[in-house]
Amino acid sequence: MSDFSLTTLFVVPVGQTALPSSGSTQDLTAGTVGFFKSDYALATAANIAASPYFYVAQGRQNTYLQGSKRSDKIKGCPTAGAACNSNVTEWYKVTGCSDVSNQITDVTDFKVQCGEILTLTLRAHSSYIDTLYFNGFTRSVTVNAPCCECGGDVCTDVDVNALINSIIVKLNQSAPGDNPDNVSFKSFFTFENVGGTILRIQGKPLTKYGQPCDVAAFPWEYDRMYFSTFVYDGPATTADFIVADACNIVAKATVTQTSNYPSGTADEFKQLEKNFYSYQAGYLKSLYRMGGYNENFESYVTAGTIYDSYYIRFNELDKSAYQWGDYIHQDSTVILAVPNATTSGIAALVEPILVAALGAVVSNNTCITTTTTTTASS
């Protein structure tokens, strides 16, 4: 069983600082977004709840054989639990988060005796990495702990500072350890000795995906790298690539900062404009990488802008359980991308109208990026 949601994306232009104050959907200038009641009169926060349903609409630059871009009929329920005959099944907000963090792991509390052999294994994952490597990009380096100075206790004493430095030297080699495809750790990580007691491992930002030769391809997706760190006694073996976490751990690896995805970026909505373009185009529905082939395509995304987005998923108003057949359910989704408050004042005007029509909105995400997890020595 599968389902399909006919999705319409409205990107509010950065230059739009107010909602329409007069006219109807046919009077919208190119790019301008507005809300309209069932009789196509302007909707406001004061009158939208009384309307049998409402539309979201946006003016087009190219109106030949097509009018303004418009959603289907949306009937909300501003009062929770009331009998409103609403067709809305899902309604939430995604807050734009521009800050992106890379994972940081601190390795501390080395329980290594002088002269012992220890191995550090890193296992990295991302969308693309996991298409190339089974169980992630997993590589190990093996070092000998420094010998103790004369008079030292060979059972307990180890120069942790020297140990960390020797590990970093190995990690920074062009192809350390058991590395059949000659990939360097430096492609994905940086390494630092902090105060002589901490080995700090930080993930690097991933390279942005390239554009293939296919003129109709628009490959873009968020990706992030996250990794696990294990320090255990003895040399690396082939088993370590699969079960490194089952070995005798001799240091504590603590994730002090997690990697995260941005949300609401201009790149994201540029891609979504292309993904959902054909659903609302009256003609010339195909898109190509070269702009000259896309005379009917319009973009209202401004580079560098962070957008808060509102998602409204709803059934057809007249047939709340409308189906193509017994197995394929179809409904509609509206995505309304609004420049956040630091970019434009329009954000403070849009949300009150939606809340008046649909009820209180719940944010589906937060911009918190830091957590702490530990792989401890025994």
Q: Is the dihedral of CA 265, 266, 267, 271 positive or negative?
A: positive
Pairing of strands 2-11, 328-339: parallel
Residue 119's identity, in one-letter code, is T
Q: What is the dihedral of CA 260, 300, 26, 322, to 10 degrees?
A: -30
Predicted pLDDT of residue 1: 39
Supply the DSSP string of 180-219, one letter for each residue: TT---GGGTEEEEEETTTEEEEEEPPPPPPPP-S-TT---
What backbone phi and psi angles, to 5 degrees, belong to 247? -85, 180
Alpha helices in 128-265 (DSSP H): 129-132, 160-171, 240-243
Of 297, 292, 290, nearest in space to 275 by CA:
297
Predicted pLDDT of residue 244: 46
Of 66, 71, 57, 72, nearest in space to 297 by CA:
66
Predicted pLDDT of residue 209: 63
Global confidence as pTM: 0.77
Q: Counting every residue, how long is the chain? A: 378
The CA angle 315-321-325, to the nearest 5 degrees, is 115
Q: What is the CA radius of gyration of the chain?
A: 28
What pLDDT tens digit does each residue of the chain (378 aa) get?
A: 356 788 999 999 999 999 999 999 999 999 999 999 999 999 999 999 999 999 999 999 888 778 899 999 999 888 766 778 899 999 999 999 888 889 999 999 999 888 889 999 899 998 888 888 888 888 888 998 887 665 556 556 688 999 999 999 999 886 655 555 667 888 889 999 999 999 999 998 877 665 555 555 555 666 789 999 989 888 876 664 555 455 688 999 999 999 988 889 998 898 899 888 888 877 777 776 666 677 788 899 999 999 999 999 998 887 645 555 655 667 899 999 999 987 778 989 999 999 999 999 988 777 755 555 554 544
Of 124, 120, 138, nearest in space to 233 by CA:
120
Residue 241's identity, in one-letter code, is F
Residue 58's beta-bridge partner residues? 33, 69
34 in Cβ contact with 54 (< 8 Å): no
How many CB atoms within 10 Å of residue 121? 21
Collapsed DSSP state (helix, strand, coil) of residue 270:
helix
User: What six digits make up the tokens of 374?
Assistant: 């530990």
Predicted pLDDT of residue 199: 97
The CA distance from 116 to 130, in Å, is 33
Q: What is the DSSP letter of 16?
A: -
Q: Which residues touch 281 (CB under 8 Å, ≥6 apart)?
A: 66, 296, 297
Question: Cβ-count burial of 282 within 10 angstroms (0-12 exposed, 13-18 middle, 19+ buried)?
Answer: middle
Residue 264's identity, in one-letter code, is G
The CA distance from 138 to 321, in Å, is 49
What backbone phi and psi angles, to 5 degrees, belong to 165? -60, -40
Predicted pLDDT of residue 378: 41
Q: Which residues touch 297 (CB under 8 Å, ≥6 apart)?
A: 273, 274, 277, 281, 284, 287
